[in-house]
């Protein structure tokens, strides 16, 4: 790859923000009255946060696999956004927005690489 990590900064920041939003959503979902109804949301929050952290780390170290990792991250972010959008809780709405932004950034990064 011919990119430097500085060229990835907006994507790295989106990934970091998304991971934080997913952790917050996960924690809040566990406090919902019907936690069982939130099971898929919780599972996707965990997967998405891990994918976002992995993608941000890969870009920071200019990994040769960063584009592939970001492409996968975008898919996971889209799935998490879709699930969070099904719920009325504010933490889910905030998470969905962060996931969509991250998915857009990761898609763009993967296409540009």
CATH number at residue 21: 1.20.1270.360
* Res 6: pLDDT: 76
Rg value, the chain, Cα: 14
* Res 17: pLDDT: 98
* Res 89: pLDDT: 95
* Res 7: pLDDT: 84
* Region at 32 (left for phi over 0; alpha for psi -120 to 50; beta for the rest): beta
| 10-residue mean pLDDT series, the chain (113 residues) | 70 98 98 94 98 97 96 98 96 98 97 88
* Res 97: pLDDT: 98
Return the axis-axis angle of helices 9-29 and 39-60, rounded to nearest 10°: 160
**Total domain count for the chain?**
1
- Give the range of the structural domain holding residue 71, as residue numbers without chain letter: 5-112
């Amino acid at each position: 790859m011919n990119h430097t990590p500085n060229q990835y900064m907006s994507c790295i920041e989106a990934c970091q923000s998304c991971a934080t939003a997913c952790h917050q959503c996960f924690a809040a979902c566990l406090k919902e009255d019907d936690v069982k109804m939130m099971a898929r949301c919780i599972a996707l929050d965990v997967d998405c946060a891990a994918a976002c952290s992995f993608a941000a780390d890969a870009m920071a170290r200019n990994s040769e696999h960063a584009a592939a990792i970001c492409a996968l991250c975008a898919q996971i972010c889209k799935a998490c956004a879709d699930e969070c959008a099904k719920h009325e809780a504010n933490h889910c709405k905030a998470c969905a927005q962060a996931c969509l932004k991250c998915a857009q950034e990761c898609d763009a990064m993967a296409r540009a690489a």
